[in-house]
């Protein structure tokens, strides 16, 4: 009987120690809150959203542009940490444009993906926000003339890390992805280029980062369809991009 009592006492002490240890463990890090926009361009919804469903450390809410453009205003940074923009909306109202700029000057992370390079085609400030533009006709930037940008589906794109020490690319290796190419696009000279390609039909720059107002911005050209979505580098890069641009809490 004494042995049984002793064993029970030891077990009780162990249970107390385990509870105390658990109580001292740091809380799990809060998930990054993402507002994910789409609209103005078709895409394979189930496969695309599946990339984000499988992404650890984030929680996302869908927004449809331009219907939900009114959300992009100061105060949104209290509800979300990062905007991921996969829309190619033609335009939003001047009032919505002003509110969006005010939000970015306030500070919120921004990741722009693929065809978002062609969004807001008649709003010059958006070119400054994301650092580039898919031209839908003749344009001029930095004293240079640009003609209609080009695209082509179903290409094998070899991607090279131009800055392997950046937080978004550190530890990754060069890779190949089956995706759509963009050629003849404008890329601002002051962006920090992270990924490049030697595909003759594509702009050399595949991904870059910059700052607009108090917001970190990252653009990634990849992501036309499920063949690109299934490439493990795609989700990895987006996840890293979200973490990079997210403001410190």
For residue 15, what pLDDT is reported? 45
Domain ranges of the chain: 31-245
For residue 70, what pLDDT is reported? 98
- Bigger pLDDT: 9 or 121? 121
For residue 122, what pLDDT is reported? 95
Are the beta carbons of 235 and 125 closer than 8 angstroms?
Answer: no
User: Does residue 171 surpass a pLDDT of 90?
Assistant: yes
Counted residue by residue, the chain has a size of 249
* Euclidean distance between CA atoms 7 and 38, whole angstroms: 61
- Bigger pLDDT: 35 or 2? 35
Structural element, H or E, at residue 62 = strand 58-64
DSSP string, 120-175: STT-HHHHHHHTEE--SS-EEETTEEE---EEEEEEEEEEEES-TTSTTTTT---E
User: Does residue 16 surpass a pLDDT of 60?
Assistant: no
pLDDT in tens, 47-79: 999 999 999 999 999 999 999 999 999 999 999
> What is the CATH architecture of 31-245?
3-Layer(aba) Sandwich (3.40)
pLDDT in tens, 200-233: 999 999 999 999 999 999 999 999 999 999 999 9
For residue 248, what pLDDT is reported? 87
- Bigger pLDDT: 20 or 27? 27
First CA to last CA distance, the chain: 56
Are the beta carbons of 200 and 212 closer than 8 angstroms?
Answer: no
For residue 11, what pLDDT is reported? 42
Asked whether the whole model's pTM tops 0.85, one would answer yes
For residue 25, what pLDDT is reported? 65
Secondary structure class of 82 (helix, strand, coil): strand
Q: Considering the chain, what is the average pLDDT of its residues? A: 92
Question: Confidence band (pLDDT; 50, 70, 90) for 24?
Answer: low
pLDDT in tens, 117-150: 999 999 999 999 999 999 999 999 999 999 999 9
Question: Confidence band (pLDDT; 50, 70, 90) for 29?
Answer: confident
* Residue with tokens 């997210």, as numbered in its chain: 246
């Amino acid at each position: 009987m004494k042995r049984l009592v002793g064993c029970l006492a030891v077990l009780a002490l162990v249970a107390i120690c385990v509870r105390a240890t658990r109580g001292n463990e740091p809380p799990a890090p809060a998930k990054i809150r993402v507002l994910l926009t789409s609209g103005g361009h078709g895409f394979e919804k189930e496969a695309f959203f599946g990339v984000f469903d499988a992404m650890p450390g984030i929680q996302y809410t869908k927004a449809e542009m331009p219907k939900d453009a009114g959300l992009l205003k100061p105060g949104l940074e209290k509800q979300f940490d990062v905007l991921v923009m996969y829309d190619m909306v033609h335009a939003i109202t001047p009032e919505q444009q002003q509110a969006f700029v005010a939000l970015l000057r306030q500070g919120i992370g921004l990741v722009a993906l693929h065809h978002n390079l062609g969004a807001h085609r008649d709003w010059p400030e958006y070119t400054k926000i994301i650092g580039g533009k898919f031209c839908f006709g003749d344009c001029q930037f930095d004293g240079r003339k640009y003609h209609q940008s080009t695209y082509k589906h179903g290409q094998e794109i070899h991607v090279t890390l131009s800055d392997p020490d950046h937080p978004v690319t550190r530890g990754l290796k060069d890779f190949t992805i089956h995706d759509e190419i963009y050629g003849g696009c404008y890329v601002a000279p002051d962006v920090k280029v992270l990924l490049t390609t030697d595909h003759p039909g594509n702009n050399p720059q595949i991904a870059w980062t910059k700052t607009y107002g108090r917001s970190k911005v990252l653009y990634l050209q990849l992501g036309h369809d499920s063949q690109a979505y299934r490439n493990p580098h795609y989700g990895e890069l987006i996840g890293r991009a979200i973490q990079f641009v997210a403001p410190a809490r």
